Structure 1
Amino acid sequence: MMTSLSGLWLTLALLAASPQYTPAMDQSQWQISGDQFQCQMQQNLGAMGTLAFSKKPARAIEMQLTLHAAHLELQDVQGQVVSAGWQPEQMAPAVQFSPTFINAKVARFIEQVPLVMQQLQQGYWLQLMLDMPGQEVTLTVPNLKSSQALAEFQSCIDGLLPLSWAQAREFQLFYPINKRQPSADDAAYLKTLALYIQQDKAVKKVLIDGYTDDMGSSIANRVMSEERADEVASHLIEFGVNKNKLEIRAHGNRYPAATGDQTESHNRRVLIRLIRTQS
Structure 2
Amino acid sequence: MIISLLGLWLTSAVATAPQYTPAMDQSEWRISGDQFQCQMEQDLGAMGTLAFTKEPGRAIEMQLTMHAAHLELQDVQGHVVTAGWQPEQVAPAVQFSPTFINAKVARFIEQVPVVMQQLQQGYWLQLMLDLPGQEITLTVPNIKSASALAQFQSCIDALLPLSWAQAREFQLFYPVNERQPSADDAAFLKTLALYIQQDKAVKKVLIDGYTDDMGSSIANRVMSEERADEVASHLIEFGVSKNKLEIRAHGNRYPAAAGNSTQSHNRRVLIRLIRAQS
- Give the TM-score category using the shorter length: over 0.9
The match for 1:218 is 217
The match for 1:38 is 37
Contact 1:82 1:89 in 2 (8 A): no
Separation (CA, whole Å) in 2 of partners of 1:11 and 1:85 = 19
The answer to whether 1:65 aligns with 2:64 is yes
Shift of 1:173: 0.7
The match for 2:85 is 86
Amino acid of the structure 1 residue aligned with 2:108: F
The match for 1:103 is 102
Instruction: Give the number of the structure whose residues are more often helix, by fraction.
Output: 1
The match for 1:177 is 176
The match for 2:10 is 16
User: Once the two structures are superposed, what CA deviation does each residue of 1:199-257 show, in whole Å capped at 9, x if it has no partner?
Assistant: 11111100001111122222111111111100000000001111100000011111111
Separation (CA, whole Å) in 1 of partners of 2:139 and 2:22 = 8
> Structure 2 matches for 1:149-168, cutoff 5 A?
149-168=148-167
Tell me the secondary structure at the aligned position of residue 221 of structure 1. helix
The match for 1:7 is none
Identity, in percent, stands at 87
Contact 1:72 1:132 in 2 (8 A): yes
The match for 1:251 is 250
CA gap of 1:121–1:161, structure 2 versus 1, over 3 A, is: same
Separation (CA, whole Å) in 1 of partners of 2:10 and 2:235 = 62
The runs of at least 4 aligned residues of structure 1 exceeding 6 Å deviation read: none
The match for 1:125 is 124
Unaligned stretches of 5+ in structure 2?
13-17
The answer to whether 1:274 aligns with 2:273 is yes
The answer to whether 1:116 aligns with 2:82 is no
User: Once the two structures are superposed, what CA deviation does each residue of 1:62-111 show, in whole Å capped at 9, x if it has no partner?
Assistant: 11111111111111111110000122232411111111111111111110
Separation (CA, whole Å) in 1 of partners of 2:140 and 2:225 = 59
The match for 1:206 is 205
Shift of 1:179: 1.0
- In the alignment of these two chains, the number of paired residues is 270
Contact 1:172 1:271 in 2 (8 A): yes
CA gap of 1:278–1:218, structure 2 versus 1, over 3 A, is: same
Tell me the secondary structure at the aligned position of residue 46 of structure 1. coil
Contact 1:15 1:21 in 2 (8 A): no
Shift of 1:15: 4.3
What TM-score do you get using the length of structure 2 for normalisation? Answer: 0.94
Amino acid of the structure 1 residue aligned with 2:222: V
Unaligned stretches of 5+ in structure 1?
1-9
Contact 1:66 1:107 in 2 (8 A): yes
Separation (CA, whole Å) in 2 of partners of 1:201 and 1:241 = 12
Separation (CA, whole Å) in 1 of partners of 2:101 and 2:215 = 56
Shift of 1:116: 0.4
Shift of 1:50: 0.5
The match for 2:229 is 230
User: Once the two structures are superposed, what CA deviation does each residue of 1:11-65 show, in whole Å capped at 9, x if it has no partner?
Assistant: 2334433601110111100000111111110000111111111111111111111
Contact 1:197 1:203 in 2 (8 A): yes
Separation (CA, whole Å) in 2 of partners of 1:154 and 1:192 = 21
Separation (CA, whole Å) in 1 of partners of 2:261 and 2:130 = 56
Shift of 1:137: 1.0
The match for 2:15 is none
Contact 1:23 1:46 in 2 (8 A): yes
Amino acid of the structure 1 residue aligned with 2:200: K
The match for 1:6 is none
CA gap of 1:278–1:151, structure 2 versus 1, over 3 A, is: farther
The match for 1:3 is none
Shift of 1:267: 1.2
User: Once the two structures are superposed, what CA deviation does each residue of 1:139-194 show, in whole Å capped at 9, x if it has no partner?
Assistant: 11100000010011111111111111111111111111111110101000101111
